[in-house]
Every structure is written in structure tokens, then in C-alpha cells.
Amino acid sequence: MAITRSRDEREDAFDALFLAEWPKVVRIAQRVLGEGSQAEDAAQEVFLAFYRRFEGALPERPGPWLYAAASHVALNALRAERRRDRREREHAQGAGSAPADPARELLAREAAQELRTALARLRPQSAQILALRYAGLRYQEISETLGVPLDQVGTRLRRAEMALRKELAHASSQGR
Amino acid sequence: MRHPKDGDLRRLLDEPQSVAASVRRHAQDCPACGGRIAAMRADAELLAQRFGTGEPTRSDAAAARERLHTQLAQGRRARPEAAPLRRLPYGKIAGWSAAAAVVLAIGFTPIGSYAKGLLLIFQPQSFQAIPVSPSNVAGLPDLRELGTMHGTRSMRLDPVADRAAAAAEAGFPVLTAGAGMPAGFGAPVYGVLPSHTESLTLSASKIAAYAAAQHLQLPPLPADLAGSTISVTTGPAVVAIYGGSLTNLWQQSSATPNGGSPSSVSGQSPSMPQLVIAQAPAPKVYSTGATVQGMEQYFLAIPGISPQLAAEIKSIGDPTRTLPIPIPASRMVSQNVSVQGVQGLAISDASGLGSAIVWQKDGMVYAVAGSVSEAKALEVAQGLH
């Protein structure tokens, strides 16, 4: 059900919604894209799409739409980034352009990269539930966002965690 | 009591008060379940550490809100008519059929026109999904602003009696679903979409007039593109519809998909088709002079295509072999799949309840789409014979 208001009221309602939900939407994107500006860009894109879609009348319960969109935009950005990285690596092969970062920073970056690589290899639905849960969404919210029965959330989350652990273990055995 | 299932034990870790008291008691007393919970806790702690705990601040939110308002204001200036974006396949069509959205995106939107504009002088061998969102196509002009278009867009799906009649009218053998088809969908109804050609003749003067009217700095049209005509021929296509009618499919595909509540994304109108199988010869693109690379370079330089989208399209690689399929970034996800011995593209909507599989084999393009999981759509696709 949508709520119809005057234009000014809609703008005020949208602003209030933005301030209330923005942190959660960014958190979801951060779990997928890391804590850089990319996650904020993804959140911006989500709210822009939301604004344009619901310009006429805000939905009564916007959370599930926003959270689903946040996870999708972030996962799409992750896949696009991986394609670009792959291409750039192919171009850069033999160029010898290793960055001169301190060892600690390098390790942290490698760990983050490893997580994102593993996440991108998961089924989209698995990556999505992980992003939502590790951004702090409650099981009820995840159930509404993904449209799955509440009593299935734990099972799907556990499966997704095991799949991610497996991918991470695989990455460690291959890469390090 | 039997051992609780993994899902209940997992929730016990996060929201113990939401789990039945009997499960809590069992978990306390049962060493085996204690071991399972310990393993889950170890995984959850490790993953929480890996995912990080970044927390945006309120001042970040206020600054982001200002940025959004600026972006919206710029969008309004650059795009006085919001209609083209509203025709993006968001909303109510998403739940039942990602394929309908793909067809819409390719055939009926300015973005689709661009997709067509990019697939020049070739028959695509594979597909690549391009996530598209309103922000990265804001201000995109309609192709009609850049030249003269010929060919009718009002395509009609003609009902035919059965598969044999469809094959006779389309002129190619029509594959049918095998064992993978879910029970209860019943017999399909068939329709044929006639072959269709659409062409665009690029005009330097129209482009200049559009740029002046919109106060835009458009790149000059290269000499080899000015006056060049590009034609796209599609079809004939055969569509088999399970659990619905041709009328409903067509009305839904033609609807303006604006609005719709989150629940309607995964919901489904009772009269909507449950599954659609489409097959057609691969589109053919002809040109009187323009090259694929020249067109791609020119279109991607037009203001209104964001740098991200341009990079994404460029990342496809050889544009003469791969067809970019625009998908709404906030509502759908895609991945490559193996189908019928070739690589195809699986597209799922946000709810995971609507999916499409698209692939090409032996010069034909096939799509299976419906209110089914990606796995089920893939099973149906694999079973086509």
C-alpha cells in the first residue's frame, strides 16, 4: 500500500526516510564492496532509483525494497569490478607495476580482495543473504526483503556461510 | 526431542529469544548440538571479522542527502521529460518474467535502442548482462533524436493452433519442453511474432539540432557515420506460453512498469503466464558504412551515458560477437550458465522467484522465463528438444 501526500510532504517524508535508512543501506553495500566510497555510491544509486520509482507515493514499508536493491546494486557493482580487474590484470601482465604499500596494508587489501572474490563466486541469493545478515538485518527483515519464509532464513544463512567458508578456504589454498 | 535443524540453531546464535524454548533447552543439554552451535559460532565470528563492522555516521547521511538532491536537480535539468526512464522495466513485470523485461529493454526503450545501436553488422554469438540504473543513463536521448528511424514498432503476436503451425509460419523447427517442465503448467499456447526490421539513418544536422535544443555538448558525428544506415532484423519468433494467454502476456509486456509495491515485485497476477519459451533466429545487423567500433565509440561518448555504464559496455570486449543485454541493476542479477552445451546467461529478479535463461545455439536465440527459480528455468532450458 502506498501513502499519497502533497509534494512538500512527500519531499519531507523522503528526507526523513533517507536519513533513517541510509546507514543501513550503506552497511549492506559495505559488506559487499568494502568501506570505501564505492559503497556510498551504490547507496546513492539505490535512493535515486527509489526516489524516481516512488516519486508519486512512498510505499508504506520501504525497507525491504531498499535492502533488496542495496544488495543487488552492490553485487552487480562487485561483478562489474571483477570483470574490469580481470581485464586490467591481463593488460598489466609483465608490466611489473607492484605498488609499494606497507606490508600490513597489503595484507589487509589482500584479505578484503579474497573475501570479495569468494563472495562473487557464490550464488547471488547466497551472497545476498550474507550481505543482509552481516549488515545487521534481523531475521524478520531478511525474510521480508528476500521474500522467503521466516523459518527458512536460518537454514539459508547457514548454507551461505558454509559456502563462503569453502570459497575462502579454496582461495587461501590457491593464492597464498 | 529430535535434534533441531541447522536453521533453528543458527538463529539461536543471533536471536535466542525468537527460538522456541524447547530448542533452547535441547541445545543446552545436547553435546552434539553444542558442537554444531560451536562450529556455527566460529564461522560467524570469522565471517563477521572478514566482512568488517563499518558504521556510517549521521553526518555522512546528511552529506549524502545533499549530494542526492544535487543529483536529482541535475537530472531534472538534463532530462526535462522523465518518461524514457519510467519505461525502464522496473516493477510489476519483474516478478513473473525477467525475459519480458529483457525483451522490453531491448525492444521498447531508448536503452534498448542503444543496445541495438551497439550490435552492428554482426550476429551475436553470446550475451553479456549490463546492469543499468536510472542514475547511469540519466539524460539519454532517444535514438530518433539522432537520425531517422524506419520500421514499425507495433509488433503483434499472432496466435497459432499448435507447435506444428508455429513451425510452419516461422519457417524453422520449434523445440518443445521435455522432462524438466514443472507439473501442472498444462499444455502451452503458441504465438508467432513476425520478422521485423528497424533502421536508423544517422543525421549530423538532427544531432546538432538536438544538442542545441538540450544545451548539450555532443561529440561531432564522424564522417563515416554521417548518413550511414544501420538495420536490425529480428524474428520471426515463436513464443510458447504455459499457464496463461497471449493477450495477458502482451498486455503485461506493454504495460508501463512504474510503481508497484515491493510485494508486487515477487507477486504474480493470477492470470499471468507462469512460463514462456521463446525461440527466434539470432538478430542480424546490417550497415551501409558504419563500423561496430565506430558506432560504439560514438554512442558511449554521448552525455547521458555515465562513465560507469560506458566502462561496463567497453568491458564486454569484442562488440561484434557479444550482445549486451541491459538489466535493471537494482532489481535483477545475472550470471553465466552452461545450457544445451553452450554458454548462456541466467537473469533472476530480486525476489529470486522470477528467472530467465537466454542462450544462442546454431544461429538461433532461445529464452526460457517465468515465475520459477533459476534452477528450474535452467532445467526447462536443458530439456528443450
Q: How confident is the model at residue A84 (pLDDT cuts 50, 70, 90)?
A: low
Strand partners, B147: B202
Contacts of B243 (CB under 8 A, 6+ apart): B185, B186, B273, B274, B275
Q: What is the pLDDT of residue B212?
A: 81
From the CA of B171, how many Å to the nearest CA of chain A?
A: 38
Domain boundaries, chain A: 2-93+101-175
Q: B322-328 and B332-339 as β-strands: parallel, antiparallel, unpaired?
A: unpaired
> Residue range B225-245: average pLDDT?
76
B136: chain A residues, CB-CB within 8 Å: 45
Which three three-digit cell numbers place residue B281? 533466429
Across the interface, which of B67, B91, B266 has its CB nearest the CB of A147? Answer: B266
Query: Which chain B residues are closer than 8 Å to A44 by Cβ?
Result: 64, 67-68, 71, 135
Asked if B309 is an interface residue toward chain A (Cβ–Cβ < 8 A), one would say no
User: Tell me, what's the pLDDT at B377?
Assistant: 87
To probe the interface with B, which of A26, A50, A52, A110 has the most B CB atoms within 10 Å? A52
Please check whether residue A24 is in contact with residue A136, taking contact to mean a CB–CB distance below 8 angstroms.
yes
Q: Rounded to an integer, what distance in angstroms lies between the CA atom of residue A155 and that of residue A175?
A: 30
One-letter amino acid identity for B204? A
Give the pLDDT confidence of B31-52 residue by residue, as tens digits. 999 999 999 999 999 999 888 8
* pLDDT tens for each residue of A122-149: 988 899 999 999 999 999 999 988 888 9
Whether B238 contacts B278, CB under 8 Å:
yes
Q: What is the mean pLDDT of residues B168-188?
A: 84
State residue B352's pLDDT score: 55
**Position A29 pLDDT exceeds 80:** yes
Q: CA-CA distance, B253 to B101, in Å (whole number)?
A: 8
Could A49 and B52 be called an inter-chain contact, meaning their C-beta atoms sit closer than 8 Å? no
**What ipTM does the predicted assembly reach?**
0.85
The partner residue sitting opposite B15, judged by closest CB among A1, A59, A139, is A139
By mean pLDDT, which of B217-226, B306-315, B334-343, B361-370 is the weakest?
A: B306-315
User: With contacts defined as CB-CB under 8 Å, which chain B residues touch A162?
Assistant: 43
